[in-house]
Amino acid sequence: MPELLDEVEIVGALRLLNRIIEQDTEPGPLGGYRIKKGVAPDRVISISDPDMRHGRKSSSQVVKGYKRFDVCDLDSGLTLCVCVLPANMPEAVARWATTSVRRRSVSRFEKPWLNASQA
């Protein structure tokens, strides 16, 4: 027998459903609703992982999910820090999040380097 959801889980699921309906539909010209043209800012793309987002690595390369940012020492190949953010977050956020690691590592390593990739 399946478990019953408690009130908190039901309210959370209804909020997520409402957000998806609002971001993807608009009133139709003849009444009812239709799919919106374009993409809503900060659009939810997965109901199983509501933090997942659309993003871009370039004008032609779309990223769905997350971006991973690695701070590595180029000489030793040692990974100093890893930061994972939703795909729609700009790389400047990862640079800010890893700045303290890169500052501390400059004294120990000559060439700390930030690399971005799809996670």
Q: What is the pLDDT of residues 12-27, one digit of tens each?
A: 889 989 988 888 899 9
- One domain, residues 81 and 116: yes
Domain that holds residue 22: 1-40
- One domain, residues 53 and 108: yes
- One domain, residues 35 and 48: no
- One domain, residues 52 and 92: yes
The rounded mean pLDDT for the chain is: 77
Is-contact 82 70, C-beta < 8 A?
A: yes
Rounded (5°) CA angle 17-19-20:
65
Instruction: Give tens-digit pLDDT for 80-107.
Output: 778 888 888 877 777 777 776 656 555 5
Q: What is the domain count for the chain?
A: 2
Amino acid type, 33: Y
CA atoms of 109 and 104, how far apart (whole Å): 9
pTM recorded for the entire structure: 0.52
- One domain, residues 48 and 17: no
Tell me the percentage of the chain whose pLDDT exceeds 90.
10
Amino acid type, 5: L
Tell me the percentage of the chain whose pLDDT exceeds 70.
82
